[in-house]
């Protein structure tokens, strides 16, 4: 189960990075960023859940938390670039 969660979190980070890269390539800043804010809140909720989880997960919980932090940073950068 931890492996599936890790894959989902990695995919979330990739999707967030792709969205940011796509936005930078188009050079278009849109005022509406509801999806970016929703993604940010979802990532923050996922991080919070992992903080509350039992730590004995073979290192995957910590790895997932690191990936979520990277995704949060990427989403914040995307929001700043689109503002």
pLDDT digits (tens, 9 = 90+) for 26-81: 555 456 899 999 999 999 999 999 999 999 899 999 999 999 999 999 999 999 99
15-47-58 Cα angle (round to 5): 95
Residue 25: predicted pLDDT: 57
Residue 31: predicted pLDDT: 61
Rg (alpha carbons) of the chain, rounded to whole number: 14
Q: What is the pLDDT of residues 1-25, one digit of tens each?
A: 555 567 777 777 776 666 666 665 5
The reported pTM is: 0.62
- Could you tell me the residue ranges of all domains in the chain? 33-83
| CA–CA dist 11, 64 (Å, integer) | 11
Residue 50: predicted pLDDT: 97
């Amino acid at each position: 189960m931890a492996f599936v969660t890790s894959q989902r979190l990695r995919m979330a980070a990739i999707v967030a990075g792709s969205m940011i890269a796509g936005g930078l390539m188009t050079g278009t800043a849109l005022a509406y960023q509801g999806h970016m804010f929703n993604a940010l809140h979802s990532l923050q909720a996922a991080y919070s859940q992992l903080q509350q989880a039992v730590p004995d997960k073979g290192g995957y919980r910590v790895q997932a938390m690191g990936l979520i932090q990277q995704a949060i940073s990427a989403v914040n950068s995307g929001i700043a670039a689109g503002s």
